[in-house]
Amino acid sequence: MNNYIEKLKSRSPLIHNITNMVTINDVANIELACGARPIMAMAPQEMDEVTGICDGLNLNIGTPSEERFEAMRIAARMAAKKNIPIVLDLVGVGVSRFRMDFVMSLLDEVHVDVIKGNLSEVKAVMEHGRCDGGVEVTDTAAESDAKALACRAALRYGCICVITGETDYVAELCDEADCYDNNESSLMSTDAMGTGVIDNCVVNAVASDADGYTHNYRVGSITGGHFMMKRVTGTGCMLSGLICAFVAADCDDKYGAVTAALSCMKSAGGLAASDMAEHGRETNSCYFIKPGNAAYRDRLIDAVYHICDGDYELM
- What pTM was estimated for this model as a whole? 0.86
Question: Would you say 42 is a known binding-site residue?
Answer: no
Q: What is the pLDDT of residue 312?
A: 76
Question: Would you say 123 is a known binding-site residue?
Answer: no
For each of the chain's 315 residues, which pLDDT tens digit applies?
A: 788 999 999 999 999 999 999 999 999 999 999 999 999 999 999 999 999 999 999 999 999 999 999 999 999 999 999 999 999 999 999 999 999 999 999 999 999 999 999 999 999 999 986 655 445 544 445 566 899 999 999 999 999 999 999 999 999 988 654 333 333 333 333 333 334 444 544 444 444 555 556 778 899 999 998 988 989 999 999 999 999 999 999 989 999 999 999 999 999 999 988 888 876 655 555 556 788 888 889 999 999 999 999 887 665
Q: What is the pLDDT of residue 310?
A: 85
Q: What is the pLDDT of residue 140?
A: 47
Domains along the chain with CATH numbers = 2-267 (3.40.1190.20)
Q: What is the DSSP code string of the chain?
A: -HHHHHHHHHH--EEEEE--TTTHHHHHHHHHHHT-EEE----GGGHHHHHHT-SEEEEE-SS--HHHHHHHHHHHHHHHHTT--EEEE-TTTTT-HHHHHHHHHHHHHS--SEEEEEHHHHHHHHHT----STTS----S-HHHHHHHHHHHHHHHTSEEEEESSSEEEEEE-TT--EE-SSPPPP---PPPSTTEE--SEEEE----TTSEE-EEEEEEEE---GGGGGSTTHHHHHHHHHHHHHHH-GGGHHHHHHHHHHHHHHHHHHHHHHHHHH-S-TT-S------HHHHHHHHHHHHHHHHTT-S---
Question: Would you say 158 is a known binding-site residue?
Answer: no
Question: Would you say 234 is a known binding-site residue?
Answer: yes
Q: What is the pLDDT of residue 145?
A: 86
